[in-house]
Structure 1
């Protein structure tokens, strides 16, 4: 039984109780069900995540309060705060800084509160291989958030959704089979997400990353997406000054993968990182960014032709 199921079961039990359960209810270590529920609630930072279609409804223990002012169109009296939710969609590939801005805009809470909550990775339920860093683990999805949900509860819900996806995709064992750590797989997935124009290109782009890493000696990845992340900039074309950056995310200068994810990838990008397409490509070029056309090359001469095609399309815009 996963964390979300345990939380759902616990909330169902709580709904049948006349009085709020004592805090010790969630912290008992004796007994199978009590222990499992206690661990689940602790790991998810007392947050509930319930799926409603493609939307995840987020609520924490603070959300079990009531408000005396009813929503417009409803009668007077106390109204469960759960009915007053904000809906937000976190798109695939967003950097954590942009996720915080989106959360702040929707909830009205300062960005600093989300930044502070993100510093406590263990309380958010991050897996050990995240090394306490939230980037890459704030899973993209649509969430409905109660106004009383704290930043920690919201972020914990996103991590819980990531953990569920990682379990569904068999991320840990899949990484082992690929000869990589789970964090490396997620880092590759974040690059794939950032570099892909469409989902169908993702397995091929993942193959390019692997082919470059697997060369002896390894070839530098030379990805603008990683370079721009390290510079906290956006764009698809790096300047000469950018290329000289000493950032650990400058994969034009440093071999191998960057230190960690450069955004928060979705399930398709993670799948591609786990199961890349078969091929000998070492380059890819988005020859027509407007139409999202990406082409792949296995030799430098092919790559130069694709680059010329990109230049022509850019000049026609």
Structure 2
């Protein structure tokens, strides 16, 4: 309901009031100074039939629809205006002077004298009596115009109504929320529906109902306050905890154990290519370190921390991160099998047996029985003269080998690494470019280069020697490689002092002094440097080589005459 008028309140209608006399506007001016019903229950009045009237016929006045419900209207609906000519009054003048002046009328005509509007004194019981009107007299009065809707109800048909009851009741605590007051909406609704009439047309007051339930309301209010306090207390504790954790994660030192750990040992396997964070996660899962961040920090602070390799490590539980780094850098703690470039398989098998705590020969037996299931590439030769099908495929590196693991699992890791490396260098295509039949022969060349060469520069020259001696046009050695390493492989020895009688009397397929071409298969496990040299040899015409010091210094020659000088140098250095 729109608040209309700037008065301080409303008073009962007085028949003697000149503004409501027979000579007035039928109550038209009364609304200018009275308080609106804003804040109370909206008053809805049934629409009454209107008497048709024209602007030229002012015989019926319209009752003000904005009047207070407290006012009484003794005037009859359709009150006649003054018979002396007041009907000629222009309603637009009324709209203009509606908020400014009081219009008085008498039996002799109407006066244009302007009088200040006198507001009615406020009703002390009305909490809204002191408010200024939102619109007041500044609004034009559309009363009895086509804009006025709905038409007013005749006073004669209205019954006296008590002061409207509002839903708002501040109560003794100046307005309690329903949650704290513990009010029961269903009970209130029941009271509103069934409560007895108090004699004034209204229902039993809220104060009466609340008075009956005051004690219960306070009890429930106390419980509600306790619940709220617990909720806020728990929320504050949660925020404090997570805030502390956030601070610790971002700015605090990482949690860490102290000391060198307990007597309980545990084996931790570190995969190839693992980062410091990955290593830390595995150590934490095994109970070695307390946090990943502590290990990462300790590893980064250690000058050799980045050199931790893949493998299995025998560590202690609840170690400080720094102690864990130190132990992992100590070879004694590593439960790994180290495959070095050029090493033969028989040596690798023995190392695996030792690490796994198995009887000597166990891993070799497994290799002979299960080599087909370990993942060898399809281009591996099935030559029956091959002494070990896995030779050349246990790629150099560090592999986990701790007690409880099976030998085939360790071997499979090594074969998988070899496959990855051989695919990286595309051995199948490179073999055809180098005049070889397949990738298997290229691996065999790489194993010869690894066995005979001493340095990276030696490897490329050694690879050229192999390819030049394999050529059908070779008249220097007639396609004989004449490598001591192949003869020693067949014998299972590493003897550099071999007599011509021993060499010439042995017809083993691996004896390249008596057998042309390559041996049946690799004679060891070549490393990456030897593999790269086999793929990309020099092209300088080398066909001879001699380790002139008997150990590390290898010299190369292109002619037989140069070879003889190198041989004499070797004999002088070794005492032959």
Report the TM-score, using the length of structure 1 for normalisation: 0.73
Cα distance in 1 for partners of 2:372, 2:522 equals 18
Equivalent position of 2:180 in the other structure? none
Query: What does 1:229-308 correspond to in 2, within 5 Å?
Result: 229-243=489-503, 244-290=505-551, 292-308=552-568
Equivalent position of 2:460 in the other structure? 203
Q: Is the 8 A contact 2:357 2:403 kept in 1?
A: no
Is the partner of 2:362 in helix, strand or coil? helix
Q: Is the 8 A contact 2:463 2:537 kept in 1?
A: yes
Cα distance in 2 for partners of 1:268, 1:71 equals 33
Q: Is the 8 A contact 1:285 1:306 kept in 2?
A: yes
In proportion to residue count, which structure has more helix? 1
Cα distance in 2 for partners of 1:71, 1:219 equals 54
Shift of the 150–183 alpha-carbon distance from structure 1 to 2, 3 Å rule, reads same
Shift of the 232–105 alpha-carbon distance from structure 1 to 2, 3 Å rule, reads same
1:60-101 CA-partner distances (Å, limit 9, x unpaired):
xxxxxxxxxx964549xxxxxxx9961231111111111111
Query: What does 1:22-33 correspond to in 2, within 5 Å?
Result: none
Cα distance in 2 for partners of 1:54, 1:206 equals 33
Query: What does 1:110-125 correspond to in 2, within 5 Å?
Result: 110-119=359-368, 120-125=370-375
Equivalent position of 1:189 in the other structure? 446
1:57 deviation in Å? 3.8
Equivalent position of 2:272 in the other structure? 50
Shift of the 49–127 alpha-carbon distance from structure 1 to 2, 3 Å rule, reads farther
1:223-264 CA-partner distances (Å, limit 9, x unpaired):
000011112221122123420111101111111001000111
Give the count of matched residue pairs.
252
Equivalent position of 2:356 in the other structure? 107
Q: Is the 8 A contact 2:342 2:525 kept in 1?
A: yes
Is the partner of 1:88 in helix, strand or coil? strand
Query: What does 1:210-225 correspond to in 2, within 5 Å?
Result: 210-216=467-473, 218-225=478-485
Q: Is the 8 A contact 1:140 1:265 kept in 2?
A: yes
Cα distance in 2 for partners of 1:146, 1:108 equals 8
Cα distance in 2 for partners of 1:54, 1:146 equals 17
1:54 deviation in Å? 7.3
Equivalent position of 1:20 in the other structure? none
CA RMSD across the alignment: 2.6
- Aligned equivalent of 1:150, options 406, 424, 427: 406
Q: Please state if 1:176 is matched with 2:436.
A: no
Instruction: Choose 1 or 2 for highest CA Rg.
Output: 2
Cα distance in 1 for partners of 2:501, 2:374 equals 38
1:102-136 CA-partner distances (Å, limit 9, x unpaired):
22223222342211221222211011222461011
Q: Is the 8 A contact 1:286 1:294 kept in 2?
A: yes
Report the TM-score, using the length of structure 2 for normalisation: 0.41
Equivalent position of 1:6 in the other structure? none
